[in-house]
């Protein structure tokens, strides 16, 4: 993670504090989400979900095997909304579709737009499964053992457009995700700070 995205209050120059920049952009809850987490999934368990706050996530396996199918959340939501006559599709409907989708239905989804994609992976010990920002997944723990590993989520300014668009979509449904919006707010603040710093650097070079 880039340290400059997460300045503490004492790191702000006085002029920024006076301008209202004295609130740390990472809330305690978001710090918890970004911490390294160990997890265990019972053998045979089926799960359809998104990662916490829909953030990009790496999961490293130590024991067991997972079979996962993943797709970008907004693409699927918008596709299902069109199938439903334009009424906005919610996450639960997207989860249900991914859990029960047939080969033919998946093919129709992929052919509907060049931007649509579905990824499948089988991961075991020492494998890392990366889920991009704003993706959902359906997984099953296969074989004769539970699956154990660690999960690490992160933030990057390149994630801001997708996370912001997804947060706006969910708010439009009346189903906001508070942790997702905290991540968006953090990245938006970091982007604003970078723009200010870049502007000052350009002004400084202009006066040299």
At residue 200, the pLDDT reads: 56
pLDDT band for position 31 (50/70/90)? confident
Per-residue pLDDT at 140 exceeds 60: yes
Report the relative pairing of strands 37-41 and 147-153 from DSSP bridges: antiparallel
Share of the chain above pLDDT 70, in %: 81
- The answer to whether 74 and 165 have CB atoms below 8 angstroms apart is yes
- The answer to whether 90 and 173 have CB atoms below 8 angstroms apart is yes
Per-residue pLDDT at 4 exceeds 50: no
User: Which whole number is the average pLDDT over 34-56?
Assistant: 96
Least confident of 33-42, 59-68, 181-190: 181-190
- The answer to whether 65 and 146 have CB atoms below 8 angstroms apart is no
Per-residue pLDDT at 15 exceeds 80: no
pLDDT in tens, 69-88: 999 999 999 999 999 888 99
- The answer to whether 169 and 177 have CB atoms below 8 angstroms apart is no
Q: Compute the distance between CA of residue 163 and CA of residue 180 in angstroms, rounded to an integer.
A: 7
pLDDT band for position 148 (50/70/90)? very high
pLDDT in tens, 96-117: 999 999 999 999 999 999 999 9
Q: Compute the distance between CA of residue 5 and CA of residue 87 in angstroms, rounded to an integer.
A: 37
User: Is residue 53 packed enough to be buried (19+ CB in 10 Å), middle (13-18) or exposed (0-12)?
Assistant: buried
**pTM reported for the whole predicted model:** 0.81
Helix residue ranges per DSSP H, 101-177: 103-112, 160-172
At residue 189, the pLDDT reads: 86
């Amino acid at each position: 993670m880039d340290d400059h995205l997460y300045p503490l209050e004492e790191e702000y120059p006085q002029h920024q504090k006076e301008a209202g920049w004295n609130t740390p952009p990472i809330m305690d809850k978001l710090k918890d989400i970004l911490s390294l987490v160990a997890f265990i999934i019972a053998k045979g368990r089926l799960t359809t979900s998104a990662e916490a706050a829909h953030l990009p996530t790496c999961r490293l396996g130590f024991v067991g095997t997972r079979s996962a199918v993943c797709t970008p959340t907004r693409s699927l939501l918008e596709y299902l909304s069109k199938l439903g006559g334009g009424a906005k599709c919610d996450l639960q409907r997207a989860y249900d579709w991914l859990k029960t989708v047939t080969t033919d239905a998946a093919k129709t989804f992929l052919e509907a737009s060049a931007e649509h994609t579905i990824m499948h992976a089988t991961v075991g010990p020492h494998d890392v499964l990366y889920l991009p920002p704003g993706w959902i997944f359906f997984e099953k723990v296969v074989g004769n053992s539970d699956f154990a590993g660690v999960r690490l989520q992160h933030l990057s300014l390149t994630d801001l457009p997708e996370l912001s668009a997804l947060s706006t979509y969910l708010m439009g449904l009346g189903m906001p995700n508070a942790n997702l919006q905290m991540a968006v707010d953090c990245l938006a603040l970091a982007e604003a700070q970078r723009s200010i710093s870049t502007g000052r650097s350009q002004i400084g070079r202009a006066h040299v």
